[in-house]
Structure 1
Amino acid sequence: MDLAPYLLLAGLEGLVEASVLMLSALGLSLVFGVMRVVNVAHGEFYMLGAVGGWAIASLVPDHPALGFALALLIAPALVGALAIAADRGILRRIGYDPEATIVATIGLSYIIQQVVLMTFGPDARAVEPPFYLNIRFPWFGYSGYKLFIVAVAAVLVGALWVGLRRSRLGLMMRATQFDRETAQNFGIPVGRVYSGVFAMGAMLAAVAGVLIVPANQAHYLMGHDPLLMSFVVVIVGGLGSIPGTIAAAVLIGLSDGLMSVFFSPTLAKIVSTLLVALVLVFRPQGLFGKAETRA
């Protein structure tokens, strides 16, 4: 039996899953790293991106490429605006208390889910791919759109990395993450930084949702699995660690691809869960996290 085609297929599927997972998990990691907020509504921002992408793309059904481009631009912007409103209207009012923010974002998640259900109904919605391209490998054909997902995710992650390292906003975010009070004393608008970070995290999840819809479908319950897998990636990589999140997303994505092709998707989820358990036992701070020092 020639394993080469199966290994190639597993690698491609793993890269696609890793790309979507990377965007979603980076949003969650960014919010926790800077704000110390566990955003349980993160999966619903992913779902809003997908459903919003479908709603926007359906406005121009005769031009799939134009509809998808509009969805990729407008849906994340709308989700980001909602995140800013949630930050200023809810999280800021409760002082970003860790326990209170978990409860608040659980409530926000439920509200978003029910509003989408009442507005769009329970049916799954498909979005036509912006282009049809079948890439031929020696053994099989593969969807060019899925490789487009990988390319877009790589560009966005690279831009985020450069922005965090080189831009003024990135400098303010790092200063706020290191010491909120000192940053405030130096004139950094911490409230605006928090709103921007929360919006950025939500927009990354929304972009992942828009990208996956042509390869999947949009429905009001689709945020559950991305939320859980994002938590898995963030825990394995290290809470708040951007390099750790990227590395863990690639590791888990490729692992899921291999397990799904050679065994079953159910076994892939079991392996991901076992990986989290092993990391928590042998390296609680995550692969790239820093151990806390105690007096």
Structure 2
Amino acid sequence: MEFGPHLLLATLEGAVTAAILALTAIGLSIVFGVMRVVNVAHGEFFMLGAVFAWSIASFFGSHPAVGFVAAILLAPLIVGALAAGADRLILQRIDYNPERTIVATIGLLYIIQQATLMTFGPDARPVEPPFNSVIALPWLEHTEAGWQVYWPWGLSVTSYKLFIIFAAVAVLSGIWLLMTRTRFGLIMRATQQDREMAQAFGVPVDRVFAYVFGLGAGLAAVGAVLVVPVQQAHYLMGHDPLLLSFVVVIIGGLGSLPGTVIAAVLIGLTDGIISVFFSPTLAKIIATLAVGMVLVFRPRGLMGK
């Protein structure tokens, strides 16, 4: 195995994982940062995004690009609306009590999972990507004649996987602009700093919380819609994204968006590289050890306050 070309391939695969993980974990981090709610059902909202993506793409079955565009626009909105409704129906009624919230979201997890099993079925369903050209990976090699470019046989990446990376960067940039440059972002940050004071100044805190809970679930659904052409929609697919999102949020710092993105990149690249050269199981073990080290030596996380 040539180390250099395979390292490039592993880095690209890790970047795809990091992109999806960053979108999913940012949603979890926003919910915790603003609402101080640990959403155990976050992985199921990810799964719902993938299931709705398959349903919408199947409905608009004339061309893969039409179905994908419809899915990326509609699925996050549907999932976000369902999450906001769950917040108004369940979490607001228990006044966001930390212990009751965890139990309530665990119950919500099983309700969503079993409802999806009864309606969607147990089979995994694929979604055709809108484009999927194979791009050979070039590599530089120094010879007696100087530096030469060659294409290692069999090493390639698809155009859709590169699209996932760029799409995730665009969405994360939009979230940063929303949080720092808009009135809604200012209200979110004010509510995060002091809920009672924001309410005293006329901020409808309950409505803001519903929007934030929906936004977090919608971001998880965006990640699911992007990844479902690479994987397949399945009613049990929310387990791993939930666990990895918690790993990322703990390492980056609870409620810290920059820390979450940095941790997602580190975990994603590590997972991709170790999975290619060793095994996916070893990558998960290292991620778990990283969480333990952070909790021991820096409980606030990389950028937590």
Q: TM above 0.5, one fold?
A: yes
Separation (CA, whole Å) in 2 of partners of 1:88 and 1:233: 27
Pick from 180, 193, 197: which aligns with 1:165?
Answer: 180
Of 139, 152, 160, which residue of structure 2 is paired with 1:145?
160
1:244 is the counterpart of 2:296: no
Residue type of the alignment partner of 2:122: P
* 1:124-152, Cα deviation, whole Å (9 max, x unpaired): 00000111221222222211101111111
Q: In structure 1, which of residues 167, 175, 181 is the aligned counterpart of residue 196 of structure 2?
A: 181
Task: Work out the CA distance in 2 between the residues paired with 1:163 and 1:75.
Answer: 20
Question: 1:42 is matched by which residue type in structure 2?
Answer: H
| Cα distance in 2 between the residues matched to 1:121 and 1:2 | 43
Query: 1:14-163, aligned counterparts within 5 Å?
Result: 14-138=14-138, 139=152, 140-163=155-178
- In structure 2, give the amino acid aligned to 1:87: D
Question: Please, which moves more after superposition, 186-195 or 273-282?
Answer: 186-195
1:276 aligns with 2:291: yes
Deviation string for 1:2-34 (max 9, x for gaps)?
311111011101100000000000000000000
CA distance in 1: counterparts of 2:137 and 2:274, whole angstroms: 21
Query: How far did residue 62 of structure 1 move?
Result: 3.0
* CA drift at 1:61: 2.4
Q: How far 1:60 moved relative to its partner? A: 2.4
Q: Single out whichever of 131-140 and 197-206 deviates more from structure 2.
A: 131-140
Larger Rg over CA atoms: 2
| Mapped partners of 2:181, 2:270: distance in 1 | 33
- Give the RMSD, CA atoms, in angstroms: 0.8
2:226 alignment partner, one of 179, 203, 211? 211
| C-alpha distance after superposition, 1:43-75 (max 9, x if no partner) | 000000001100110112230000010011111
- CA contact 2:9–2:156 (8 Å) conserved in 1: no
Q: Structure 1 stretches (4+) deviating beyond 6 angstroms? A: none
Seq. identity, %: 66
Q: Please, which runs of 5 or more residues in structure 2 have no aligned partner?
A: 139-151
Q: What corresponds to 2:144 in structure 1?
A: none
Aligned to 1:293: none
* Equivalent residues in 2 for 1:187-266, closer than 5 Å: 187-266=202-281
Equivalent residue number for residue 3 of structure 1: 3
Q: Distance in 2 between matches of 1:115 and 1:273?
A: 31
Contact 2:252/2:259 (<8 A) preserved: yes
Q: Which runs of 5+ in 1 are unaligned?
A: 291-295
Secondary structure of the residue aligned to 2:130 is coil
The letter for the 2-side match of 1:186 is: F
For the residue of structure 2 that corresponds to 1:142, the secondary structure is strand
Q: Please report how far the alpha carbon of residue 187 of structure 1 lies from its aligned counterpart in structure 2 after TM superposition.
A: 1.3
* Number of positions where the alignment pairs a residue of Structure 1 with one of Structure 2: 290
Q: How far, CA to CA, are the matches of 1:45 and 1:121 in structure 2?
A: 17
Structure 1 distance, partners of 2:231, 2:263, is 23
CA apart distance, 1:186:
1.1
How far apart, in 1, do the equivalents of 2:86 and 2:230 lie? 30
Q: How many Å separate the matches in 1 of 2:201 and 2:267?
A: 40
